[in-house]
Amino acid sequence: MARRGRARRRSRLRRRGPALVTAVLSGLGVALPPSTTQDEIWAGYFSGHYTGARKALAQRIFANSGVRTRQAAVSPLLEDVSGWSTERRMRRYQVEAIPLGKAAVSRALEDAGLAAGDLGLFAVCSCTGYATPGLDILLARDLGMSPSVQRLFVGHMGCYAALPGLGTASDFVVARGRPALLLCTELTSLHLQPPGTRTDIQQIVSHALFSDAAAAAVLTPQDQNHPGYAVREVAAITDTTTADHMTWEVTDLGFRMGLSPQVPSVLSTHVRTLVDDVLARHGRTIADVDGWAIHPGGPKILDVVQERLGLDDAAMSASRGVLSAYGNCSSPTVLLVLDALRRRDRPPDRIVMLAFGPGLTLYVTLLEGSTLGT
């Protein structure tokens, strides 16, 4: 009888399957290099590299970028790297990125109430610097992560990398039931291009927008005693017919950005369908979303997304505020917007994160307060 009873219990467990684990974003940490104003950078450095009509155009681009202050690990006001070789820039990347990443990771762990040794996965996204041993190895060592921690480095995905990074980290949490941490660190200031390329309009736009930052996110199995945002879905669409619209080329003098003015038009074509489809799979519509973390690639991109999604100015305020205060920091930027939403007096319950980059690729992530839904 006892054996038959145990067999029946095992059968019931097999039918039910394992308990479903939900990955929750339970901690965020941000670290920023020294800041300066857009006007200071223009007057103190870039204004001297243009003349005549081109100078007037460049000044308008800087003034209309939506950026008021920005950060640089290597400021052109103090140190001109435009003539440096890529090798020299990569060596400097390691020097500057390690303390910045360490600060962001430490703050995220503290926010989540975890120690570095608790992590099962440590993922790093960066498209502005490469070395081996890299940030994943050196920070795991310096912060005291377990020798058995799994590591992942994601490179050259660009501005949208945080969202596939979140997807991978959340999948790990669901599959293994252990915490994961994602770090996005970018030092775009190391890729200042030499004077010969600065007259190119795409380079002017790039120099007017991009900035440096690090942001880290901790994902843990759902625990009602430590609430956060449950990761409900991560989805993407890539329009490969427009692959040449956004590029990040490795040259002998750093990495050079290519930005087509057609990028906002491509986003306009795809963003509404992508967002609607994700929300519909969860029985939601745009009206059910009270928090929008949209990657501020530039003012025109935000304008297009706002128009296509039918959002009011309040819904866009966090993204526009981050663009103004920090610039476009590539992969960490959407996490900076999420952090701004979390710090509000009344944080939103349901958040859609959107980010865009080479491909052209659009990524969307749906987050819900972990006490919502099932």
For 315-344, write each residue's pLDDT tens digit: 999 999 999 999 999 999 999 999 999 999
Q: How confident is the model at residue 359 (pLDDT cuts 50, 70, 90)?
A: very high
- Does residue 183 share a domain with residue 82? yes
- Residue-number span of the structural domain to which 321 is assigned: 229-369
| Predicted TM-score (pTM) of this structure | 0.93
Residue 309 located in a structural domain: yes
- Does residue 132 share a domain with residue 60? yes
3-state helix, strand, coil in the chain (%, to 5): 45, 25, 30
DSSP string, 253-309: TEEEEEE-TTHHHHHHHHHHHHHHHHHHHTT--GGG--EEEE--S-HHHHHHHHHHH
Provide the CATH number for the domain around residue 196: 3.40.47.10
Residue 159 annotated in active site: yes
- Does residue 118 share a domain with residue 259? no
Contacts of 200 (CB under 8 A, 6+ apart): none
Question: How many domains is the chain partitioned into structurally?
Answer: 2
Q: Could you read off the pLDDT of 172-223 as tens digits, one per residue?
A: 999 999 999 999 999 999 999 987 765 588 899 999 999 999 999 999 998 7
Share of the chain above pLDDT 70, in %: 92
- Does residue 240 share a domain with residue 200? no
Q: Could you read off the pLDDT of 133-152 as tens digits, one per residue?
A: 999 999 999 999 999 999 99
218 alpha-carbon distance from chain centroid? 14
- Does residue 236 share a domain with residue 217? no
Residue 90 located in a structural domain: yes
- Does residue 322 share a domain with residue 290? yes
Of the residues 127, 159, 184, 329, which is catalytic? Answer: 159
- Does residue 213 share a domain with residue 283? no
d(CA 304, CA 84): 37
Residue 314 located in a structural domain: yes
Q: Could you read off the pLDDT of 280-325 as tens digits, one per residue?
A: 999 999 999 999 999 999 999 999 999 999 999 999 999 999 999 9
